[in-house]
């Protein structure tokens, strides 16, 4: 489990195409410290398994399903990425519960710059709109954020200078894709209510 608090702005150092999969090599001295083969690291909000590591870099294999359902397929050598290690048992839940299982992708629609923050508008796939509510939690490229406004096919977020400086959200431009993970609690509530409604109709 992750919390959506990015630990490091890393970089893709190599991409190897493997037919229906890809192998990424990523630089992240902070997240690789103490890491070992088989550990999990979230890359732009996607939970990946460490295959190999050394000299502050790690390698991860990404299957077709993940490439198709996330924005990782658009990464290339030199791309910057948000990196986070799983939360340790007993650690602080600084953001919200993040699984590293991307629900879909959106695109940066617009950015409004003010003196101390930015309001960013992001497109929202139709199948995810029911999970996104004003002042609720959402994960964008692995960053735990609070929804400012929830529209019919979009939502907005407010980014403080720290988030702009330390994550990829500071360099994303209109048209760029982003990974979205909605609050898992909302999905469980929907399932439980649906099961209850089916029981009531029997």
Instruction: Look up the pTM and report it.
Output: 0.90
Averaged pLDDT score across all residues of the chain? 92
Q: How far apart are CA 187 and CA 192, in angstroms?
A: 9
Q: How far apart are CA 128 and CA 180, in angstroms?
A: 9
- DSSP annotation of 103 reads -
CA 6 to each of CA 26, 30, 142, 182, 193: distance values in angstroms, whole numbers, following the listed order: 15, 11, 7, 17, 33
pLDDT of residue 199: 54
pLDDT digit string, tens, across residues 2-59: 999 999 999 999 999 988 899 999 999 999 999 999 999 999 999 999 999 999 999 9
pLDDT of residue 200: 58
Structure tokens at 125: 């796939």
Per mean pLDDT, which range of 75-84, 122-131, 192-201 is the poorest?
Answer: 192-201
pLDDT digit string, tens, across residues 82-105: 999 998 777 777 778 888 999 999
Q: Which residues pair with 25 in a beta bridge?
A: 14, 59
DSSP 166-199: HSGGGT--TT-EEEEEE-HHHHHHHHHHHHHHHH
pLDDT of residue 195: 61
The model's confidence at residue 66, banded by pLDDT at 50, 70 and 90, is: very high
pLDDT of residue 198: 55
pLDDT of residue 196: 59
Place of tokens 């030199």: 78
198, 172 contact by CB (below 8 A): no
What is the arithmetic mean of pLDDT over 53-66?
95
Residue 139 has pLDDT above 60, yes or no: yes
Residue 165 has pLDDT above 90, yes or no: yes
Q: How far apart are CA 81 and CA 169, in angstroms?
A: 10
């Amino acid at each position: 489990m992750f919390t959506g608090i990015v630990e490091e702005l890393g970089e893709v150092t190599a991409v190897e195409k493997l037919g229906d999969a890809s192998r990424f090599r990523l630089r992240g001295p902070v997240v690789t410290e103490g890491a070992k083969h088989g550990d999990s690291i979230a890359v732009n909000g996607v939970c990946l398994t460490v295959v190999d590591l050394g000299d502050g870099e790690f390698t991860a294999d990404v299957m077709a399903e993940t490439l198709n359902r996330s924005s990782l397929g658009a990464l290339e050598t030199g791309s910057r990425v948000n990196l986070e290690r799983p939360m340790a048992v007993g650690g602080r839940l600084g953001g919200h519960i993040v699984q590293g299982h991307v629900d879909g992708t959106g695109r940066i629609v617009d950015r409004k710059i003010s003196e101390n923050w930015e309001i960013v508008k992001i497109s929202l796939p139709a199948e995810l709109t029911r999970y996104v509510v004003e002042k609720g939690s959402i994960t964008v490229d692995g960053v735990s954020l609070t929804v400012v406004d929830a529209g019919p096919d979009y939502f907005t977020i407010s980014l403080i200078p720290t988030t702009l400086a330390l994550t990829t959200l500071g360099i994303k431009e209109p048209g760029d894709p982003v990974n979205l993970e909605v609050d898992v609690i909302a999905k469980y509530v929907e399932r439980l209510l649906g099961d209850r409604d089916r029981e009531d109709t029997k």
